[in-house]
Amino acid sequence: MAYTVKFYKGDYLQRQQAANADRAVAYVEHHFNSGASPSAGYAVVVVGSNASSTSRNWGRWYARAVADQFGTQVGGDGGILVGGWAGRGDGNVKHTRMPAVLLEPLFASNPQQADAIRSEAGQAALARILAESIRRFFPDGGLVAFSVGHKYKTSSPNDRGAALAGGGTEADHAELVLQKAAQLLAAEPAVPTQRMLRVMRGDTLLFETPVDEDATLSWSSERNLLYIADSGDAPAPRALPAAGKAAAPKAAAHTAAAAGKAAAAARKTAARGRRR
């Protein structure tokens, strides 16, 4: 299975009705937040007043991932606002038959966050988190509906949302992030995967390895060490050739074969990393 992404335009109700007619599996409307205080800067997701538990969990997961990536906090109730700000935002997502989220990952009015919104790296990070969230919550693939907040409304075609501190608009930058996320979703088939541990530098994947679903991970900032508690029957590392070599000397023939397989997988992973 694969993902296809379609951008919906027109007034918000029409977008949602069109996505319903197309039987989309997930619906995303992208905004950036804005506040009176330039220091306001938290991640929050609006879900409809009738939101399913999938919408709520998806929204919370996304807000937490954004807050972790950008070193901010989550807003609302653990990252979500059910029914929006006293109703504002509710109508943007409550008419879909599929899970739907309205994203407010960063503040356009916060100068530091506006810089991140304008930067290639910031947009790439937001796109990656969104694509990952869709892969996680909708692992079977299907049609994903994207809606750029404010832009392309029939009733007010010139709306671009909030101004970014330092220049640019909310809607134009939301569109850039959604375009990047659409590319990421189209690049790989939808495959339900096991739990993976990954190391990234910027937008580049340096290393990934499967970890046991039950394994406990602990980070030591003193040692810069992420420790995976040995669950006895750990899956073979995929992306660190040195680990495959280390296993070989004390191993019987079948382990050497496994190490070879791991090295091949590592090469594949590295190639995939470069493509990204």
Cβ atoms within 10 A of the Cβ of 70, count?
Answer: 20
Cβ-based nearer residue to Zn ion, 141 or 149? 149
Cβ-based nearer residue to Zn ion, 107 or 138? 107
Cβ atoms within 10 A of the Cβ of 78, count?
Answer: 12
Q: Give the Cα separation of 118 and 76 in Å (integer).
A: 25
Least spacing, CB of residue 105 vs Zn ion, in Å: 11
Q: Which stretch binds Zn ion (CB under 5 A): 5-13, 109-117, 146-154, 211-219?
A: 146-154
Least spacing, CB of residue 111 vs Zn ion, in Å: 18
* Cβ atoms of residues 47 and 101 within 8 Å: yes
Q: Which stretch binds Zn ion (CB under 5 A): 130-138, 145-153, 178-186, 267-275?
A: 145-153
The SS3 assignment for 202 reads coil
Cβ-based nearer residue to Zn ion, 34 or 55? 34
Cβ-based nearer residue to Zn ion, 41 or 244? 41
* Residue of 19, 24, 25, 31 that binds Zn ion (CB under 5 A): 31
Handedness of CA 85, 86, 92, 97 (dihedral sign): positive
For residues 158-217, which are near Zn ion according to CB under 5 A?
Answer: 161
Strands 80-82 and 73-74: unpaired
Q: Tell whether residue 149 is a contact of Zn ion (CB under 5 A).
A: yes
Residues touching Zn ion: how many (CB under 5 A)?
Answer: 3
Q: Tell whether residue 94 is a contact of Zn ion (CB under 5 A).
A: no
Least spacing, CB of residue 70 vs Zn ion, in Å: 18
DSSP string across 41-79: -EEEEEE-TT--HHHHHHHHHHHHHHHHHHT-EE-TBTT
* Cβ atoms of residues 227 and 220 within 8 Å: yes
Name the residues that contact Zn ion, by CB under 5 A. 31, 149, 161
